[in-house]
Each structure stands twice: as structure tokens, then as C-alpha cells.
Amino acid sequence: QVQLVESGGGWVQAGGSLRLSCAASGITFSIYDMGWYRQAPGKQRELVAVIRNGGTINYADAVKGRFTISRDNAKNTVDLQMHSLKPEDTAVYYCNADRLRGFAGHDVYWGQGTQVTVSS
């Protein structure tokens, strides 16, 4: 019964802010790398930000300086604080949990996505 449930999406005008949250259940949250991905119409799904189980953070160049990813292992949540939103940030945002299992590959889970729409 693994579940990743995103919330916080919506409509905002350019320059505004939104905070996305992902609540995970059914996994040992602290051992998973947690990420946010997005997919815009007509484009491939892309990594937005990842916070690994040890705390290392990486951002896509397009969002550096504007987005902040954080996790709370006690609450099994990962958040994405988005500031200075641009129309090109419009996409469905997905929460991702990923655990490397060596030669056995990965355990990977996805949320159903939450729509973020930024109007100019």
C-alpha cells in the first residue's frame, strides 16, 4: 500500500508562489531519495529537484534560486517551495520516491501529480 499524495497545486500569476507537499505512506521514508518532477504539455518529464536520503540536494538549472526542496522524515513528507513562478513552470508536478537496490535495480514510486498553472 505505497502511496505518494501530492497537494498544493493550483493557479498563480507570474511572480507568485506556491508550496507543494507530498505525503508518503507504506515505505520506510528516511531511506528513500525523494524528488519532484514535472511534465509540461508536449514535453518530457523532467527532474525539478531531489533531496536524497542523506540530505544532498540538487536542482534543475531552470529552478535554481527560485525553488526549495525539503523533507521531514518524522512526518514522511517532502515539500517544494516555489517562488518567482514563471509561465514556463506550468506543468503537472509529480512526487517521486526512489531507493537503489544495487544490482537489483530500484524501488521507485510516483504520485498521481498535481497541476501547477502560472499565467502571464
pLDDT (0 to 100) of residue 102: 84
For residues 18 and 10, is the Cβ–Cβ distance under 8 A? yes
pLDDT (0 to 100) of residue 104: 86
Q: Which of 93, 66, 68, 86 is nearest to 8 (CA)?
A: 93
For residues 36 and 94, is the Cβ–Cβ distance under 8 A? yes
Q: Which residues of the chain have pLDDT under 70?
A: none
pLDDT (0 to 100) of residue 14: 98
pLDDT tens per residue, range 7-35: 999 999 999 999 999 999 999 999 999 99
Strands in 33-105 per DSSP E: 33-39, 46-51, 57-59, 67-72, 77-82, 91-100
CB atoms within 10 A of CB 52: 14
